Amino acid sequence: MRLSPKVVFRLAPWLLTVFLLVCWEAICQGFEIKPFLFPAPSLVFKTGVEMFDPIMTHAIHTFLTTLAGFAIAVLVGAIMGALLGSSPIIYKALYPMLVGFNSVPKVAFVPVLVVWFGIGSIPAIITAFLISFFPVVVNVATGLATLEPELEDVLRSLGASRFDILCKVGLPRSMPYFFASLKVAVTLAFVGSVISETVASNLGIGYLMMSASSTMNMPLVFAGLMVIGAMGVVMYELFALLEHRLTRWANRSQNAAF
Amino acid sequence: MSFVEFENVSLSYSEGGQRAIEGISLQVAEGEFVAVVGPSGCGKSTLMKLISGLKPPSEGYVYVNGRQVGGPLGIVGMAFQAPNLLPWRTTLDNVMLPLEIVEPWRSERGARRKEFEEMARAQLARVGLAGFEDKFPWELSGGMQQRASICRALIHKPRLLMLDEPFGALDAFTREELWCMLRDLWQQQPFTVILVTHDLREAVFLADTVYVMSKRPGRILIRREIDLPRPRDLEVTYTDAFASHVHVLRESIGRVREN
Ligand SMILES: Nc1ncnc2c1ncn2[C@@H]1O[C@H](COP(=O)(O)OP(=O)(O)O)[C@@H](O)[C@H]1O
Ligand SMILES: [Mg+2]
């Protein structure tokens, strides 16, 4: 029996995941690796089921924290991107600083945030925001800055103001860039919130993993990692779907007549 | 004063640099169909930018409708060599774009939405695009996109239509089809047309007056009135009178090349 290429295509990610899990299990069993060093996936899964309720509580907290930081990042990122992309002088002035800021590891900010806001969700939300807004800014700015002058001339010859041009051409044209950046930004937001939780929180998956590792409960740490990964994949796919739905013209127009 | 008037106009893109066009004077009457021909790079598009107010002249004066041009005007419609349709809008929404920008349409858009849409549909039907209103630009052929682009240039009923090599990228058959389309549009509701082209047959077939420009820096070499009777049919392109007009223009360009 042979599977059609389409089915193989759809199954490929699942098959690879299963294959890697089987290898992992085999290595752990075969070399009898101690669970407190590197637990087998079966044990991670078992722990996950046993600890389902606390994991869910912490996961939901992390999820909401991440979404809050991500939402701020989208808002701020889109506005900054629009400013940068539509004004060369703002671009020139602000861009080096943004790049410098983005190069600083965000973990380094967490202690500062703790001093300012105390332990809890706020540093996590801010860290998620700080780490995820940059790709949104860059993409929106790029979308605006690479606007074809011909399209701009169409509007300018009608006497359109700069604001008209931004609304009618600039922003619609940068939508594909914007949605592409959301996929990346949402996964980065998870990184930010979990980093902050491991250092400065008593709630969330990051905190759960930190306290589990301090008692050498490796299976629970790995269960936490898995949950974060799963949430990241789900959100990425969600925004990929949104991107596909809302900017279909950008994918299709590649076969345009000219 | 004529509808469009150039008084000794020069323009250089960089301060003190070589001039793109030099010492251009011409007059276009209201309702006239003017064609400007010349070798590539001679400043034809620059001429268009001056009339549409996208660029101010370095020297001289440009008047449209009795007033000196100080910026883009709502009474002007423009179409370019590339159709430049917005790929996220349907054909209908693309055509209606100027109504969202140009006054008085802009402020009446909310109240007269239905009416505007009917106008755009009628305009599309006039160029043979009925039934394609809800298609996206990439679903149209090159010729259809250019038709839509000309609809867009005309939707706000401009008194001056400017076309910058609008048929340059089309095959010969489609091009002749669009000549006839443009001829019919112009004959149905007269407006002033300035057509930039490098196709002499196109210029002679469509225009009342043809200007030939020299290569850079662009100057007007000759002005020739085309007295072929209207309405003109494609058959006219095979007559001796037509051929002799093309011939004279061709020779003047030949001289441009030699110098
Ligand atoms: N934006 C610009 N900046 C500098 N030089 C330009 C610009 N646009 C056109 N030119 C120059 O001006 C001359 C005339 O160009 P253009 O009006 O586009 O010619 P045409 O449309 O007849 O081919 C050319 O030599 C070109 O290099
Ligand atoms: Mg040109």
Q: Is residue B138 part of a domain?
A: yes
B256, B214 Cβ separation under 8 angstroms: yes
| Domain total in chain B | 1
Residue B247 CA to residue B242 CA, distance in Å, equals 9
Residue B27 CA to residue B7 CA, distance in Å, equals 9
ipTM above 0.85 for this complex: no
β-bridge partners, B196: B36, B164
* Average pLDDT over chain A, rounded to an integer: 90
Residue A37 CA to residue A20 CA, distance in Å, equals 18
In order of A159, B39, B105, B234, the CA distances from B96 in angstroms are: 15, 34, 10, 31
Q: Is residue B5 part of a domain?
A: no
pLDDT digits (tens, 9 = 90+) for A234-252: 999 999 999 888 888 887 6
Q: What is the pLDDT of residue A258?
A: 35
Residue B16 CA to residue B14 CA, distance in Å, equals 6
- Lowest-confidence pick of A23-27, A253-257, B20-24, B109-113: A253-257
Q: Which residues are CB-contacts of A18 (< 8 A; sequence separation ≥ 6)?
A: none
Q: What is the pLDDT of residue A247?
A: 84
- Ligand with minimal distance to A153 CA: 1
Nearest-by-Cβ selection for B101 from A158, A173, A253: A158
For A214, counting Cβ atoms within 10 Å of its Cβ (0-12 exposed, 13-18 middle, 19+ buried), the class is exposed
Opening angle at CA B11, ends B9 and B14, nearest 5? 165
CB contacts < 8 A, A to B, total: 80
Best residue for ligand 1 mutational test, from B13, B22, B219 (most atoms within 8 Å of Cβ)? B13
Q: Is residue B132 part of a domain?
A: yes
C-alpha dihedral, A209 to A215 to A220 to A225, nearest 10° = 30
- Ligand with minimal distance to A149 CA: 1
Q: Is residue B102 part of a domain?
A: yes
Ligand 1 interacting residues, C-beta cut-off 6 A = B 13, 20, 38, 40-46, 216
Residue whose Cα lies nearest atom 9 of ligand 1: it is: B46
Q: What is the pLDDT of residue A189?
A: 96
For B233, counting Cβ atoms within 10 Å of its Cβ (0-12 exposed, 13-18 middle, 19+ buried), the class is exposed
Which structural domain range is residue B145 located in? Answer: 78-158
Q: Give the residue extent of every domain in chain A.
A: 55-257
Q: Which residues are CB-contacts of A251 (< 8 A; sequence separation ≥ 6)?
A: A244
* DSSP code, position B155: T
Residue A22 has pLDDT above 90, yes or no: yes
Q: What is the pLDDT of residue B112?
A: 84
Residue A256 has pLDDT above 70, yes or no: no
Q: What is the pLDDT of residue A252?
A: 65
Q: What is the pLDDT of residue B259?
A: 55
Residue A145 CA to residue B76 CA, distance in Å, equals 27
Answer whether CATH 1.10.3720.10 is correct for domain A55-257.
Answer: yes
Nearest CA in chain A to B162: A157
Listed as ranges, residues in chain B with pLDDT below 70 are 255-259
Q: Is residue B8 part of a domain?
A: no
Q: Is residue B120 part of a domain?
A: yes
In order of A70, B56, B106, B160, the CA distances from B80 in angstroms are: 42, 20, 23, 14
Q: What is the pLDDT of residue A254?
A: 47
Mean pLDDT for A84-112 is: 90
Nearest CA in chain A to B94: A168
Q: Rounded to two decimals, what is the model's pTM?
A: 0.80
A165, A150 Cβ separation under 8 angstroms: no
Mean pLDDT for A35-58 is: 91
The DSSP result for B55-111, as a single string, is S--SEEEEEETTEE--S--TTEEEE-SS----TTS-HHHHHTGGGGTSTTHHHHTTT
Q: What is the pLDDT of residue B258?
A: 59
